[in-house]
């Protein structure tokens, strides 16, 4: 019988900032059992990729597994793939960081295992045509991508049993197509069915190579896979035994051997792409639903069954466009990267580079059916790397003189690349980023000493997969924990989660200026079911900057209108933010002026959304006066003059204390999104909203005034 090569590639990854218990569980259930299986089956040869964060954890916690991996490498049973060390989306980071991250991984593999990797794993298989040049410059000779871009370019499954050559500016790269059928069949189909499929490929393409590359976590870590893969008569051992029993016609070989020995099948240029599911997830909600319906219709119709491969979603970069939070973190990464690369060579720059590279870990920059940017601890880890790297770069730029340790600067620049300037207030203690074009809002507040963005929260947005939840609820197809699967059902962790799909009209940041009607309740505010009476919250403000000695003052103002009954009154809102070098404080003075010649009564409020800790557990608290409250609780308070938001987390043992010149009414409520998870749909705490408001009578041409003072206070861990 004709022979076939099976190139198995397993990618093992845990993101920067993931919980310790997740690293441990994935190791015990997936990574360690796979290495043990390879020891038991020495004739099974494959390619393995481990991301840097996982390698670092294993080195510190399970060095025995790295020793075992080294033995498998030394006897040429396993080849190791390089890639971006901290698993960045390569197309999204500067070229210098692409090179740096790949070289860091390649150097680690050489130093730790004595292995010179020439193949690369590309994070999330996100591809753009410019990548071959940078990869080739980093010493990469071959990689693998999902079959999606090959099929977008007109190829079929029959064309994917070998590599193709591509290039950018004359820098060549071999690319293998990762066959979707195998990716879905392993380990879900029976071993017999997989072997039969491989036999068919051997007959159809003698000497060909079938590539299957996917996440290692599906071999034991994903729901219901541990017993399936590793229990008595487990799938993996059964599969490896079957491959050994059929060695006369199928051989498992590392991808690098194939790349070195087999000539490419031809030249190809692939479009921007990722795996099929990612390109679906990146679509806006309406398009997400329509695309899913269309894809199913094309697959079901006999006359269009082969054409559905040309119907694709959109590129990974759409996540940057859809989520302001992703865009802001991405642009801060670019901003800080430029600062770090401008540092003089030396230890400080090496440390700063490692922090900026860790902050490029991809998991916080996109969102699939679950997880991603909606995971607070992943966002927090990225911000910690960005802030730490910026601290090192700013200190380097100012020198080591005692006179430069306390400082304050201000810069007007298009920080988030949206065509409008932001204002960056930068001191030795804190960084505040103001956005005049959108309500003069405070969109980021970095506590330098704690490497924390205190406004790290998420806006509640409609997601395409929410429609799946709605449809299941309408049809009575919600599956609670412990219940059996039902056709068309979706799993939920609470029975009424579909009633919590509330969507914000504006981004959840800080210093949002609102005018509400007197009948708006905290419940209506929480559910985003109210009418905004003022034209301020997302409109453009004028900005004036003043500096004096070591202090900075930014005044943001807007002449807008407030609806009272059937009448619109002209009103000016002016807020002045002040920061000083060396100070842990900033203050904001508000002036609200009636520009009409008759008095008007209004309810004016200031919204502040806190993202300090990622859950409503005991380590986070909100104190009104002297009484503490849960961050996820609802509350209404009168005559509030002080408020504290704090954390006892070891990495963020501190609090922010707010003092008000005028006592205010306060609504406090959680910001919760509805997200999917392996266990089903659930509410996910993203932050806490505090809304301070006053019922005020605005006399003609007179300004109502108040002042808010925020102070950072460090606590013992």
pLDDT in tens, 378-432: 999 999 999 999 999 999 998 866 667 899 999 999 999 999 999 999 999 999 9
Token pair recorded at residue 714: 């460090």
* Euclidean distance between CA atoms 706 and 395, whole angstroms: 35
* Euclidean distance between CA atoms 42 and 282, whole angstroms: 41
* Euclidean distance between CA atoms 293 and 286, whole angstroms: 11
* Euclidean distance between CA atoms 443 and 460, whole angstroms: 16
* Euclidean distance between CA atoms 610 and 453, whole angstroms: 9
pLDDT higher than 80, residue 595: yes
The fraction of the chain above a pLDDT of 90, given in percent, is 88
Strand partners of residue 573: 558, 592
DSSP-based three-state secondary structure for 207 = coil
- pLDDT for the residue 295: 80
Domain 4-272, CATH: 3.20.110.20
- pLDDT for the residue 431: 98
294-322 per-position pLDDT tens digit: 888 777 666 555 666 678 889 999 999 99
Contact 407, 399 (CB under 8 A): no
Q: Tokens 């807007």 map to which residue?
A: 558
CATH 2.70.98.10 location in the chain: 504-714
Of residues 603 and 231, the one with the higher pLDDT is: 603
124 is catalytic: yes
CA 464 to chain centre: 17
Strand partners of residue 580: 551
* Euclidean distance between CA atoms 153 and 150, whole angstroms: 5
- pLDDT for the residue 616: 67
Q: State the average pLDDT for the chain.
A: 94
Listed in sequence order, the DSSP H helices in 231-306 are 235-245, 255-261, 276-281, 285-300
Q: Tokens 């009948």 map to which residue?
A: 519
* Euclidean distance between CA atoms 318 and 602, whole angstroms: 40
Rounded mean pLDDT of 133-162? Answer: 95
pLDDT higher than 80, residue 449: yes
70-111 per-position pLDDT tens digit: 999 999 999 999 999 999 999 999 999 999 999 999 999 999
- pLDDT for the residue 651: 84
CATH 3.20.110.20 location in the chain: 4-272
Q: Are strands 682-698 and 600-610 parallel, antiparallel or unpaired?
A: antiparallel
Q: Measuring CA to CA, how many Å separate 97 from each of 55, 92, 134, 401, 561?
A: 19, 10, 10, 30, 47
Nearest Cα to Cα of residue 106 among 78, 139, 133: 139
- pLDDT for the residue 658: 97
Q: 559: burial class by Cβ within 10 Å (0-12, 13-18, 19+)?
A: middle
Strand partners of residue 711: 585, 657
CA 504 to chain centre: 20
- Residue-wise over 593-619: b if at least 16 C-beta within 10 A, else e? bbebeeebebbbbbbbbbbbbbebeeb
Catalytic: which of 79, 87, 97, 124?
124
- pLDDT for the residue 615: 73
Contact 140, 99 (CB under 8 A): no
pLDDT higher than 70, residue 590: yes
Residue 518 zone, left/alpha/beta (φ > 0; ψ -120 to 50; rest): alpha
* Euclidean distance between CA atoms 391 and 220, whole angstroms: 40
Q: Measuring CA to CA, how many Å separate 495 from each of 30, 488, 500, 622?
A: 32, 16, 11, 29
pTM confidence score: 0.95
- Terminal Cα distance for the chain, rounded: 67
107 is catalytic: no
CB 629: neighbour CB atoms within 10 A? 15
Token pair recorded at residue 498: 């579909």
Catalytic: which of 71, 168, 215, 421?
215
Token pair recorded at residue 194: 């997989």
The class that CATH gives domain 504-714 is mainly beta
Contact 581, 408 (CB under 8 A): yes
Strand partners of residue 543: 556
Listed in sequence order, the DSSP H helices in 441-515 are 464-474
């Amino acid at each position: 019988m004709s022979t076939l090569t099976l190139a198995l590639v397993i990618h093992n990854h845990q993101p920067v900032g993931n919980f310790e218990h997740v690293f441990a569980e994935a190791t015990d259930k997936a990574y360690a059992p796979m290495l043990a299986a390879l020891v038991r089956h020495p004739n099974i040869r494959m390619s393995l990729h481990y991301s840097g964060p996982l390698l670092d954890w294993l080195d510190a916690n399970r060095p025995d597994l790295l020793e075992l991996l080294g033995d498998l490498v030394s006897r040429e049973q396993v080849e190791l793939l390089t890639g971006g060390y901290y698993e960045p989306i390569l197309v999204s980071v500067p070229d210098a960081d692409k090179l740096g991250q790949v070289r860091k991984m390649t150097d680690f593999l050489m130093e730790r295992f004595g292995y010179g990797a020439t193949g690369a794993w590309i994070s999330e298989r996100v591809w753009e045509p410019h990548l071959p040049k940078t990869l080739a410059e980093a010493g990469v000779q071959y990689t693998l991508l999902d079959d999606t871009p090959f099929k977008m370019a007109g190829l079929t499954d029959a064309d994917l049993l070998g590599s193709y050559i591509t290039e950018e500016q004359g820098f060549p790269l071999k690319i293998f197509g990762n066959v979707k059928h195998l990716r879905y069949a392993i380990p879900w189909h029976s071993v017999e069915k997989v072997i039969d499929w491989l036999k068919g490929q051997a007959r159809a393409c003698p000497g060909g190579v079938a590539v299957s590359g996917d996440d290692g976590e599906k071999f034991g870590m994903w729901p219901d896979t541990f017993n399936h893969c590793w229990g008595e008569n487990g799938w993996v051992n059964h599969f490896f035994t079957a491959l050994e029993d059929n060695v006369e016609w199928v051989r498992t070989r590392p991808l690098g051997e194939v790349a070195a020995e087999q000539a490419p099948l031809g030249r190809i240029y692939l479009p921007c792409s990722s795996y099929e599911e990612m390109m679906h997830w990146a679509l806006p909600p309406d398009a997400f639903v329509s695309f899913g319906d269309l894809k199913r219709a094309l697959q079901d119709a006999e006359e269009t069954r082969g054409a559905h491969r040309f119907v694709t979603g959109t590129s990974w970069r759409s996540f940057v466009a859809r989520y302001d939070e992703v865009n802001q973190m991405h642009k801060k990464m670019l901003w800080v990267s430029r600062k770090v690369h401008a540092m003089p060579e030396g230890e400080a720059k090496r440390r700063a580079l490692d922090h900026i590279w860790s902050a490029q870990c991809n998991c916080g920059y996109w969102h699939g059916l679950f997880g991603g940017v909606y995971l607070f601890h992943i966002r927090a880890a990225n911000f910690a790397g960005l802030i730490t790297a910026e601290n090192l770069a700013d200190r380097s730029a100012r020198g080591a003189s005692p006179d430069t340790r306390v400082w304050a600067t201000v810069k007007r620049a298009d920080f988030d690349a949206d065509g409008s300037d932001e204002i960056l207030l930068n001191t030795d203690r804190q960084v505040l980023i103001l956005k005049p074009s959108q309500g003069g809002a405070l969109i980021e507040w970095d506590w330098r000493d704690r490497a924390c963005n205190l406004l790290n929260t998420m806006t509640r947005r409609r997601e395409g997969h929410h429609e799946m939840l709605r449809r299941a609820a309408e049809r009575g197809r919600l599956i609670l924990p412990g219940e059996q699967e039902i056709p068309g059902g979706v799993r939920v962790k609470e029975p009424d989660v579909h009633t919590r799909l509330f969507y914000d009209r504006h981004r959840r940041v800080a210093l949002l200026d609102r005018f509400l009607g007197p009948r708006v309740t905290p419940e209506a505010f929480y559910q985003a079911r109210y009418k905004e009476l003022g034209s301020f919250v997302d409109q453009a403000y004028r900005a004036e900057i003043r500096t004096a000695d070591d202090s900075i003052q930014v005044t943001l103002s807007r002449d807008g209108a407030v609806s009272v009954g059937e009448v619109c009154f002209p009103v000016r809102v002016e807020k002045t933010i002040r920061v000083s070098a060396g100070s842990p404080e900033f203050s904001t003075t508000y002036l609200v002026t009636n520009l009409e010649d008759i008095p008007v009564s209004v309810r004016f409020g200031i919204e502040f959304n806190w993202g300090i800790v990622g859950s409503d557990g005991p380590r986070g608290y909100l104190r009104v006066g002297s009484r503490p409250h849960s961050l996820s609780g609802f509350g209404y308070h009168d005559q509030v003059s002080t408020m504290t938001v704090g954390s006892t987390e070891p990495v963020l043992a501190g609090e922010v204390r707010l003092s008000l010149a005028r006592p205010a009414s306060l609504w406090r409520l959680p910001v919760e999104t509805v997200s999917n998870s392996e266990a089903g749909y659930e509410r996910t705490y993203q932050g806490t909203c505090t809304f301070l408001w006053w019922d005020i009578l605005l006399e003609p041409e007179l300004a109502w005034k108040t002042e808010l003072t925020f102070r950072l206070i460090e606590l013992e861990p």
